């Protein structure tokens, strides 16, 4: 039968590896918590008066959940498209969905600021939930 013994050096090495792993896990968890945020908005959208919601693009992932009582159009655009829509003209949309009462999408844009625009041809009660972070559901 073999008799296995450990030296004190092996114990110290195991302790150092465990400490390093715990430290990396704590930093990663803190980073995930620090970069995530959730916002919920309720708005009334009428024809000619769309609802605008700002999305800080950065390099995070964005989860968008839009629900309404009548079909609406959802558009994600940048500052140029925001100005065009505010002036009443058409805009380039990075994400465009038309005629939906419930819409959920996970989206990752480049760096910069984006705008979520909700447009309706009829009076609509809209609920928008925007979750930003490195990991979203």
| Residue 120 CA: distances (Å) to CA of 50, 61, 100 | 7, 26, 10
pLDDT of amino acid 72: 92
pLDDT of amino acid 17: 84
pLDDT of amino acid 42: 92
pLDDT of amino acid 65: 92
Query: pTM for the complete prediction?
Result: 0.72
The answer to whether 130 and 67 have CB atoms below 8 angstroms apart is no
Of all residues in the chain, the percent with pLDDT exceeding 90 is: 19
Of all residues in the chain, the percent with pLDDT exceeding 70 is: 88
Q: Domains plus CATH for the chain?
A: 38-133 (2.60.120.680)
Nearest to 40 by CA among 108, 126, 118, 134: 126
Looking at the chain, list the stretches that DSSP marks H as alpha helix, in order from N- to C-terminal side. 8-34, 79-87
- Give φ, ψ of 6 to 5 degrees: -110, 140
Question: Is 45 strand, coil or helix?
Answer: strand
pLDDT in tens, 42-87: 999 998 888 889 887 666 788 889 999 999 989 888 888 888 877 7
Query: How far is Cα 39 from Cα 12, in angstroms, rounded to an integer?
Result: 46
Pick the more confident residue, 110 or 72: 72
């Amino acid at each position: 039968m073999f008799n296995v013994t450990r030296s004190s050096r092996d114990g110290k090495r195991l302790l150092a590896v465990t400490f390093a792993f715990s430290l990396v896990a704590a930093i990663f968890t803190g980073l995930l918590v620090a970069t995530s945020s959730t916002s919920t908005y309720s708005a009334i959208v009428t024809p000619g008066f769309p609802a605008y919601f700002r999305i800080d693009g950065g390099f995070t992932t964005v989860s968008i959940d839009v629900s309404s009582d009548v079909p609406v159009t959802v558009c994600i655009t940048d500052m140029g498209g925001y100005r065009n829509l505010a002036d009443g003209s058409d805009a380039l949309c990075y994400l465009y969905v038309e005629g939906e009462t419930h819409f959920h999408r996970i989206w990752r844009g480049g760096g910069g600021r984006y705008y979520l625009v909700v447009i309706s041809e009829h009076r609509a009660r809209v609920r928008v939930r925007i979750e930003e972070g490195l990991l979203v559901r």
